[in-house]
Chain A
């Protein structure tokens, strides 16, 4: 299936992916207007240090430990995309305990959040990739 992959050597550390993520998941139409005075809490996050930077978001694992460990059954997998039913999640953070990438995080709107490949917002395809100016993140099939 298609996934978001990272080309670390191309990452500029510009954080635009984070802004596009936050903007898309607020279902905004205009990035600047939607995010004005908003402290963003994106589902994709840049790690950076000593000139190295890269974006980290959910890997949509074939063997997702977050889903297997979820105590409520709120995390499900459909066509390879792992999503969280916020209505059933009670915020125990077992998914944060389980994810080897640190890709599930506390959310401002519900108990937890992770990348759902923009399948639940108005865009339908990953906006972090759309917003990346240097193809440091791509949405494609690799194997």
Chain B
């Protein structure tokens, strides 16, 4: 059996580990357009921050490819998939045959077509190790940095470079920061914290045009900067499967991580899949889902039978020591607890005896118990919901449930 995996991040590595759970013999080839050993993409901000190194950023040990019998084709882009001939054509002209193909091509920074963007002498995106190296080379204590986008990528970038630059100003069209994971109240707490560290924000505003190193906003104000980072969002890399498998916003996969094309699987940021917390199909570009989808694909590619039908949006992120954990969908009734002084905030969303989502800021202890209630669609009537609202814990479950969780009793 010939397995070919396009992409060398979490989903691709998950596929290798999935395949090898079932098939120790078949040949595995990984194709990556980056020339690096597998590394953790979310760590690029920690690299600039000085909290990790390129060596420690490796997502798996140095012997990973050898131990798993993987042929690693590094630094060559996969240009085309021929589903009839079951061949992947590489940028250098080589053709790689497959029996089972995995597409884990990830996502790319979305750069909106702002007028005059090409006149900006120093502009960056922030997604890959190369991006981080290039940005790092342009930093300096006298530099004023403008970041477009107050989302996860923009703000982690800001944290990472804060002590290496003069000023950082973050702009977002939305009226609040981290608008994809926080509500107004939570966003205010985090914004206050970031401002106390020296970050500046321009919210509810956007750049109309650039004139070299000057940004002109829609309200007419002007802003001069040295370094520009575009972090407005990402787009799934779906091109390889255009005309081959069904694509909506991302490559459509089912709970076995199969695309609509035979023998072609997909996982990670390039896909869209079913979110059990909202009942909707959506892109959930986050590392834990990418790994589990990849592993699921790998097991199924090798003839096993694995189903991943518990994907939900979820994020753990921190800024200068303030931790934020969120998961699920923000729909339904609300339980809210706040301590402004300690910067702790908790909000739970529930309806029809199910927990749909939550936000925790500051005190995030045992957050995973809430995540599990969402993921498993636990009937809230079967637990002490009032108790678990106050504090996540196994005490809220029945003694019989605890026998399963802690006592080794089989379900």
A residues in contact (CB < 8 Å) with B: 3, 5-8, 47-49, 52, 54-56, 59, 65, 68-69, 71-73, 87-88, 90-102, 104-106, 142-143
CB neighbours (8 Å) of A143 from chain B are 408, 410
CB neighbours (8 Å) of B403 from chain A are 8
B59 touches A72 (CB 8 A): yes
Complex-state Cα separation, A93 to B395, whole angstroms = 23
A87 touches B56 (CB 8 A): yes
What is the CB-to-nearest-CB distance from A109 to chain B, in angstroms, rounded to a whole number?
Answer: 16
CB neighbours (8 Å) of B334 from chain A are none
Complex-state Cα separation, A6 to B404, whole angstroms = 10
B407 touches A5 (CB 8 A): yes
Partner of A3, one of B368, B376, B408: B408
Tell yes or no: B95 within 8 A of A by CB. Answer: no
Complex-state Cα separation, A96 to B369, whole angstroms = 9
- Chain A, residue nearest B405 (CB): A101
A100 touches B402 (CB 8 A): no
- Chain B, residue nearest A72 (CB): B40
CB neighbours (8 Å) of B316 from chain A are 92-94, 96-97
19 new A-B pairs (CB below 8 Å) besides A72-B43, A96-B368, A97-B325?
A3-B408, A8-B399, A8-B406, A47-B394, A59-B405, A71-B40, A72-B40, A88-B56, A90-B51, A93-B323, A94-B316, A96-B366, A97-B367, A98-B368, A100-B371, A102-B367, A102-B368, A105-B365, A143-B410
Interface residue tally of chain B, by bracket? 35 or more
Residue interface bits B373-391, CB-to-A below 8 A is 1, else 0:
0011000000000010000
Q: A56-B394, A96-B316 are in contact. Are A90 and B52 (CB under 8 A)?
A: yes
- Chain B, residue nearest A49 (CB): B395
CB neighbours (8 Å) of B146 from chain A are none
Q: In the complex, which of the residues B314, B387, B406 has the most CB atoms of chain A within 10 Å of its own CB atom?
A: B406
Complex-state Cα separation, A3 to B295, whole angstroms = 25
B318 touches A92 (CB 8 A): yes
CB neighbours (8 Å) of A93 from chain B are 316, 318, 323, 325, 364, 367
9 nearest A-B residue pairs (beta carbon): A102-B366, A69-B288, A142-B408, A100-B372, A99-B368, A6-B406, A97-B316, A93-B316, A94-B316
CB neighbours (8 Å) of A100 from chain B are 368-369, 371-372, 375-376, 405
Complex-state Cα separation, A25 to B395, whole angstroms = 26
B406 touches A56 (CB 8 A): yes
- Chain B, residue nearest A7 (CB): B407
B369 touches A91 (CB 8 A): no
Complex-state Cα separation, A14 to B402, whole angstroms = 19
Complex-state Cα separation, A90 to B40, whole angstroms = 11
Q: A5-B408, A8-B399 are in contact. Are A47 and B393 (CB under 8 A)?
A: yes
Complex-state Cα separation, A100 to B378, whole angstroms = 12
Complex-state Cα separation, A98 to B403, whole angstroms = 21
Complex-state Cα separation, A48 to B395, whole angstroms = 7
CB neighbours (8 Å) of B366 from chain A are 96, 102, 105
Complex-state Cα separation, A140 to B318, whole angstroms = 38
What is the CB-to-nearest-CB distance from A58 to chain B, in angstroms, rounded to a whole number?
Answer: 11
Q: A7-B407, A56-B406, A71-B287 are in contact. Are A92 and B371 (CB under 8 A)?
A: no
B394 touches A96 (CB 8 A): no
What is the CB-to-nearest-CB distance from A7 to chain B, in angstroms, rounded to a whole number?
Answer: 7
CB neighbours (8 Å) of B410 from chain A are 143
A68 touches B368 (CB 8 A): no
Tell yes or no: B354 within 8 A of A by CB. Answer: no
Q: In the complex, which of the residues B56, B292, B375 has the most CB atoms of chain A within 10 Å of its own CB atom?
A: B56
Tell yes or no: B392 within 8 A of A by CB. Answer: yes
B42 touches A71 (CB 8 A): yes
B364 touches A69 (CB 8 A): no
CB neighbours (8 Å) of B40 from chain A are 71-73
Complex-state Cα separation, A99 to B365, whole angstroms = 11
Partner of A52, one of B325, B365, B395: B395
Tell yes or no: B126 within 8 A of A by CB. Answer: no
A98 touches B288 (CB 8 A): yes
Complex-state Cα separation, A99 to B14, whole angstroms = 19
What is the CB-to-nearest-CB distance from B4 to chain A, in angstroms, rounded to a whole number?
Answer: 23
**Can you list 23 A-B pairs with a CB-CB distance of less than 8 A?**
A3-B408, A8-B399, A8-B407, A48-B395, A49-B395, A54-B406, A68-B295, A71-B10, A71-B287, A72-B59, A73-B59, A88-B52, A90-B51, A92-B318, A93-B318, A93-B367, A98-B314, A100-B369, A100-B372, A100-B405, A102-B366, A102-B369, A143-B410
